[in-house]
Chain A
Amino acid sequence: MIQGVYASPVTAVLAALLIAVAAPGAPAAAAGPAPLELSAAWGGVSRPGRMTELRVRLSSPAAGTVLLRIASAGAVIESALAVRRAEWQEVTVPVPASETVAVRAQFPDGTSAAGSLPLRLAEEPLLAVAATSLRPAAVSGAATGRTARVEVNAGELPRQHQAYQAVDAVLVDAGALAQLDTGQLQGLVDYLGRCGALVAIALPQAASDLLRKEAGCGGRTLMLLADDASTDAAVLSVLAAAPAEPVGRALLRPLLPQAAGPWPLVVAAVLAYFALAAVLLAFAGRPAVLVTCASLATLAVLVGPHVVQPKPRLSIWAESESQDHRGRYSALAETTGAGRGTRTQVLPELLQGAGPCAVADADSDDATGSADSTPPPHWRWDPAHSRFLTVTFEQRLFATAAVCWHGGFPLTRSASTRRLGSGGILVTNRGAGIWPAGVAVQDGRRYVLPVVPPGTARVLSASAQVPESPATDLAAMSGDGDSAVLLWPLELSARGVEHLPARAFLALRAAHDMGGS
């Protein structure tokens, strides 16, 4: 827990005096009522570049709205919090993990407090252990090899599912699970639904059934143990089964709808200007005319981009496995700047789990990164609805600003496939709904997938193949060879995205049909 201090001069002097008389090494809390306390999920340990959860506890000297400003990993997150006077309140905010998270709170009476929280970044896979009755030897580490272990109290488990990105696997027991509040349980279930790796020990039957029902990736990333005898092996198993990190920006980018961007317009404007200047040089011959023309054209260049705002382009990649109740998606919105200025992008309500794109996916023109002197983007967090509302960034001509999303969604599609001797495949719709037309991908081959009613099967002929596309390439990458990946384009008609140029796909990994009905 890191204590913040008042930034106003009087309180700063008082705080300095209190610190001076305090015994060396005494906790900062003993020095006085600090208005700001910071802590992070997982005891402040995280994998680098991933999202974790910051908890801010604050006590305002006056009632009103406290403005929070959090800076971490090249992103700035702002949030407004309604507070009562001298009453401790807590807000949890997902933040990208970095070595130091800096927080500043602006109170309603004009005073402010600041603090910073160092995070420990672990290069090796992280196993989070939240257990009340686990034997110390149960997770010996002998089997888990280079996995780092972080012990947390059940009460410290995150509420935001994004925070689970900070670790690679979680181990809980019945005692810990019983201590979770509703928000924490929801966070854990969301994590499991997004194929999060979880080992649960000695759970009651009802809890086990619930987790089984909510688990993504066909339940491969969930291990329910009766006792802690084989915990090491279970941890290894779920770590191996957990899918790779969500599809990143580099893979989502080819799925974006094609758009010319501002380049043709800029070329046309430059050509028009130079043609006009040539005509004026040839016929007008008066410097004043040329200077006036140049000045007006310059004004138009500076004002124009503020009148015409470019639309972001959106790509969504959703994936799931047959018989899963939940799928997971990754989305990318890119906006190519048409000029200098500040731009605020409203984040669609349809997509949950918005945040800065992972550092590994950023490039030098990325407004979510900080490779040059461009100010970092400002994310606005709504604590009431636990979501980011807007992102504001400095725009430049031709530079691309990106927003990434990772989230989950309920899904009911179920399918099985079997290879046929003719080179084709047999696809069976084992779900309750009719499938629209799409594409099936297996062993690098792409097949035309017709409309398939529930409970029926279709033979996909090897002769009717479809050409390669970025979506089918991505589907081929997510297949495992034994079974096909079924791919459908999705229509986006929800509020907030209906007017955006967007391309969305759902990839369903079918179960392997062994030859039965």
Chain B
Amino acid sequence: MFAAASLAGWVAAAAVAIWWLGEVALARGSGSSTALSTSALQALVMVQLFSIVTFGPWLGATTGPRSARLTLLCSLALPWPLVALVWSATPLPGWTMVQIEAALAVLALLLPWAGAAVRMRAPQPVAATLVSLASVIAVCALWSVRDVLLERLS
């Protein structure tokens, strides 16, 4: 389980790295590397988020919350050097980046617990899978209405 979750994070982060470095190489001198890097940073955070949301409840239900948390933290930490590198090419304040990563870490600690709780109430393996699926759909829905939400909150 650990290897599968980490490998998924590795592949997704590597894909973002290839896209980012390729686009920056093509855009050198045009002055658009900041915008590209901001997009790459957004993509990396999304990779981390979906990795946690997809695997969190499922791992919590199948391997137990303790093991799942370790696996998720590992999956979250894997792209950190790349996140730091891409962040250094954006104007985003460092404190904001720390807050985002901390929020993801909190999520990585909570979701396995939710998976384990579901497993206790509904022992069928498909229940945890359904919770993972519901989490992914919820994140996608939130992402699609993020502009409206941010406007309301501000």
Contacts and interface: CB of A to CB of B under 8 A. Distances in A.
Contacts of A298: 80-81, 83-84
Q: Which of B30, B82, B88 has the most CB of A within 10 A?
A: B88
B71 interface: yes
Interface in A217-271: 253, 261, 263, 266-267, 269-270
8 contacts: A263-B21, A273-B82, A290-B6, A300-B81, A301-B85, A397-B89, A398-B33, A398-B37
Interface string A464-485: 0000000000000000000000
Contact of B73 (A261, A287, A305, A397): A287
Interface stretch (A15-23, A68-76, A277-285): A277-285
Contact of A365 (B6, B17, B33): B33
Interface string A347-391: 000000000000000011110000011100000000000000000
A291 B2 CA distance: 13
A140 interface: no
A281 B7 contact: yes
A294 B17 CA distance: 15
Contacts of A261: 28
Contacts of A301: 81, 84-85, 88
Contacts of B81: 270, 273, 294, 297-298, 300-301
Contacts of B30: 363
> In which size bucket is the chain B interface?
35 or more
A446 to B, nearest CB: 25
B91 A263 contact: no
Given A263-B21, A270-B17, A270-B85, 18 more contacts: A261-B28, A270-B21, A281-B7, A281-B10, A287-B70, A291-B73, A291-B77, A294-B81, A298-B80, A340-B87, A363-B31, A364-B32, A396-B34, A396-B89, A397-B37, A397-B88, A398-B34, A399-B34
Q: Which 10 A-B pairs give the minimum distances between C-beta atoms?
A: A363-B31, A397-B89, A297-B81, A287-B74, A365-B31, A294-B77, A398-B33, A340-B88, A301-B84, A397-B88
Majority-rule SS of B interface residues: helix
Q: Which of B25, B70, B78, B90 has the most CB of A within 10 A?
A: B78
Interface of B: 2-3, 6-7, 10, 13-14, 17, 21, 24-25, 28-35, 37, 70-71, 73-74, 77-85, 87-91, 94
A305 B7 CA distance: 29
Contacts, number: 103
Contact of A281 (B6, B32, B91): B6
A290 B82 contact: no
B31 A290 contact: no
B28 A291 contact: no
Nearest to A302: B84
A289 B33 CA distance: 33
Nearest to B79: A294
Nearest to A290: B74
A339 B88 contact: yes
Nearest to A263: B25
A400 interface: yes
A294 B78 contact: yes
A278 B35 CA distance: 29
B90 A364 contact: no
